[in-house]
Chain A
Amino acid sequence: QQQVKQSPQSLIVQKGGISIINCAYENTAFDYFPWYQQFPGKGPALLIAIRPDVSEKKEGRFTISFNKSAKQFSLHIMDSQPGDSATYFCAADKTGTASKLTFGTGTRLQVTL
């Protein structure tokens, strides 16, 4: 049972362009939605996270947009750089009792020169 669906599976963006990755969730009890970035040979690292009481959160070039009614959230990477080339995972969690992150399947982003 895949509770968090992520698309696209892979993405190629030119340097300076906008990268957009989308996720949809099913469990309305989820109340924490982080995005993780993973480089080859490394573990995932938290990039940015949002809670459902806000519709958007921005940190530098990274923005999460959140649509509670549609049960969707997305990551936008503005002015994409070659150093952003990595695999990105969205995730969802119900904090509190029995918290456990449920991850999307990942998006491999390649930013070309």
Chain B
Amino acid sequence: KAGVTQTPRYLIKTRGQQVTLSCSPISGHRSVSWYQQTPGQGLQFLFEYFSETQRNKGNFPGRFSGRQFSNSRSEMNVSTLELGDSALYLCATRRGVNTGELFFGEGSRLTVL
């Protein structure tokens, strides 16, 4: 079966701009989580969505937001980009909320200049 699909895979933005990243989960997976991966901080949890509702969130500023659609696809948005937002943004999906194996996509690599 198809895996987790993230688009775009690579993008370059400048400070102050905003960006929207997309994630299509594995068929049947209704939970979508987002993680930020950087060399210095490793993998950090951003938020999790289930049934179009945010169920949990990490310690990131309000510039980071997300949403989930009725077909379980999810988007995350980062506004007023800062240099420190340069990272690999990973989407991970699972069948239910709060338990179960997470399946990761290959990520969207964001570079902020």
Known contacts A89-B42, A100-B56, A41 near B106 by CB under 8 Å:
yes
Judging by beta carbons under 8 Å apart, are A43 and B42 in contact? no
Q: Bound complex: CA of A50 vs CA of B99, how far in Å?
A: 13
Taking a contact as CB atoms closer than 8 A, the residue among B98, B106, B107 that contacts A95 in the complex is B98
Chain A contact patch, size range = 20 to 34
Judging by beta carbons under 8 Å apart, are A42 and B58 in contact? no
Q: Bound complex: CA of A49 vs CA of B99, how far in Å?
A: 13
Task: Give the chain B neighbours of A44 by CB distance below 8 A.
Answer: 43, 90, 104
Known contacts A43-B105, A99-B56, A106 near B42 by CB under 8 Å:
yes
Task: Give the chain B neighbours of A45 by CB distance below 8 A.
Answer: 103-104
Q: Is the C-beta of A101 less than 8 angstroms from some C-beta in chain B?
A: yes
Q: Is the C-beta of A54 less than 8 angstroms from some C-beta in chain B?
A: no
Q: What 1/0 mask marks residues of chain A from 89 to 105 whose CB sits below 8 Å from any chain B CB?
A: 10100011111111111
Known contacts A89-B42, A104-B42, A98 near B106 by CB under 8 Å:
no
Closest 4 CB pairs of A and B: A43-B104, A99-B98, A103-B43, A105-B42
